[in-house]
Chain A
Amino acid sequence: MSELHGMGLVELAAGLKARRFSSVEVTEAHLARIERAQGELNAFISVTREQALAQARAADAALAAGRGGALAGIPIAHKDIFCTQGVRTTCGSRMLENFVSPYDATVVQKLQAAGAVMVGKTNMDEFAMGSSNETSYYGPVRNPWDPKLVPGGSSGGSAAAVAARLVPGATATDTGGSIRQPAALCGITGLKPTYGRVSRYGMVAFASSLDQGGVLTVSAADAALMLGEMAGFDPRDSTSVDTPVPDYQAQLRQPLTGLKVGLLKEFFDKGLDADNEQRVRDALRVYEGLGAKLTEVSLPNLPLSVPVYYVVAPAECSSNLARFDGVRFGHRCDKPRDLMDLYCRSRGEGFGAEVKRRIMTGTYVLSAGYYDAYYLKAQRVRALINADFVRAFQQVDVLIGPTTPTPAFALGAKTADPITMYLNDIYTIGANLAGLPAISVPCGLVRGLPVGLQIVGPHFAEARVLSVAHALQQVTDWHRRVPEGWA
């Protein structure tokens, strides 16, 4: 049973259904790895051993009776941004250090209904604001490929946990690249679905016109299985779209013959590491070999994604985070003199440096006299970027480019300069601004470190994006590479 931890979701589901091993065995094997890895990787904020084993026993009983959902008995982890009833939800912040949600997020509820076993809550950048997992109040996560390097962020804990095979899959969220960028830097598969595809009920809000929940897994086939259980209409989320969820697994094997692939011209810019570019171009040649037709597509306004994002996201963050006031939940300062002191000190103490920077940036761009020049202007440029994508998808079926400009960087390398850190998301933000589904899949190694290929599709084309990713994973094995010491 020593190999239980190496299996993906699809393989585990088949093994559990065939009763080749039990959920308790699988869950124990993963819990043991999580506990062993915690000192080195710091991927988890909470580990829920007892609850997990109780869920595993229930799953085993269901499986023995021939019942159990698509994920029955499979251990997974949730990013600590998803509310879990009875288990604290910190969002990586001191503000929510003692917050225990009175309800489950819809995503948590749906995965539990599918039989998944929650083994814990993963570490993340504070309130999902960061690209390196260094803004967490609970300490940075380390990259299993090299503990001196960051795992990416903000879903760094979920990505490191899947890369080190501590769990076969984990939930994550993506506001400007927080699923895809850590997936690329950790050598795994990460899917951000279409805006509105996955319910955000119980997902702590950062930037409401951009946030979307998704999955981190080893393979696209595993992502298809997990997304199928998470996606769907939720009357509790006003941005949830009432569109049927297709059978993503059944559609994985679509042939690529005649598929029109657009090379995102603006992504092959001077900031892209030459070796990283080479790995992406190698993957593009594989696609040509599989029958896809490549054309270069230009989205001239796309390079403005980062400045648009750093107006829109902080603006929305400043209003969303206004709810943390030290009154109803969250951190409260000691001995407040008056109500103003209560607000200001509770927030000043409860939020970390980057969160405060974003709140202040957002407050400024929304304030009287600056609203038109910054916020409305950014929304107009956002419309231009969106129009670029609409035009591109009239010509091609998917857009492909790199996920990040470089492989993982060292801890501390970019913390001094926020703009250097923000530019990490230069290739990922566009899909959030336009609300498009996008996946990052491993496409090779650069100086021994994984890099990602990004595939972007039109709205609600998750099945297509997954099938294009799956096709690459049928003829390459980059997604099966496990960092040294974690096999």
Chain B
Amino acid sequence: MALTREQIAGIAYLARLDLTPGEAPVYQESLSRILDFVGQLARVDTASVAPMAHPLAGLAQRLRADQVTETDHHEQYQANAPTVAAGLYLVPKVIE
């Protein structure tokens, strides 16, 4: 399964990853080889097998009571943000 340079660029775009010109051919080669390697799964007969998403089969997700349990920590959380003003996270202008 050889991926093209264009496919690598498309995957990087979907993943929101800026690749340097040097990185693209490296990932083209290694992702192609990884897909070849995992491609061996296609030969396994799984016609009657249900997909397994996690190991806790039979356990239902819990629900919690609809009660307020958390208090406001936004200042503490925003201390980790690159840029904040007036309690808001700042990003480049989205709408012209």
Contact = CB atoms under 8 A, between A and B. Distances in A.
Interface of A: 98-100, 102, 195-196, 208-209, 235, 238-239, 241, 301, 304, 306-308, 310-311, 318, 322, 325-330, 332, 336-345, 347-349, 351, 353, 356-357, 359-361, 363-365, 367, 373-374, 376-384, 386, 418-419, 422, 433-436, 459
30 contacts: A208-B54, A239-B56, A304-B41, A307-B37, A307-B38, A307-B41, A308-B41, A311-B41, A322-B16, A327-B89, A328-B77, A328-B78, A344-B16, A347-B15, A347-B16, A347-B17, A351-B17, A356-B15, A356-B19, A361-B31, A364-B11, A377-B44, A379-B52, A380-B46, A382-B52, A383-B50, A383-B51, A384-B44, A384-B46, A435-B54
A384 B49 CA distance: 8
Q: Is the interface of A mostly helix, strand, loop or mixed?
A: helix
Contacts of B35: 361, 364, 374
Contact of A338 (B38, B52, B92): B92
Given A307-B41, A336-B91, A376-B51, 16 more contacts: A196-B55, A304-B44, A307-B37, A307-B39, A318-B15, A326-B82, A328-B78, A328-B81, A338-B93, A357-B30, A359-B15, A360-B15, A361-B31, A380-B52, A418-B33, A434-B55
Interface in B59-96: 59, 61-62, 64, 73, 76-83, 89, 91-94
Contact of A345 (B13, B18, B41): B18
Nearest to A337: B92
A284 to B, nearest CB: 27
A339 B96 CA distance: 12
Nearest to A326: B82
Contacts of B42: 373, 377
Contacts of B13: 344
Contacts of B34: 310, 357, 361, 418-419
B81 to A, nearest CB: 5
Interface residues of B, number: 53
Nearest to B59: A241
A90 B55 CA distance: 28
B18 A344 contact: yes
A102 B77 CA distance: 6
Contacts of B62: 235, 238
3 tightest Cβ-Cβ pairs between the two chains A and B: A435-B55, A348-B18, A379-B51
A69 B70 CA distance: 28
A383 B55 CA distance: 9
Contacts of B89: 327-328
Interface string B2-15: 00000010011111
Contacts of B41: 304, 307-308, 311, 374, 377-378, 381
A342 B17 contact: no
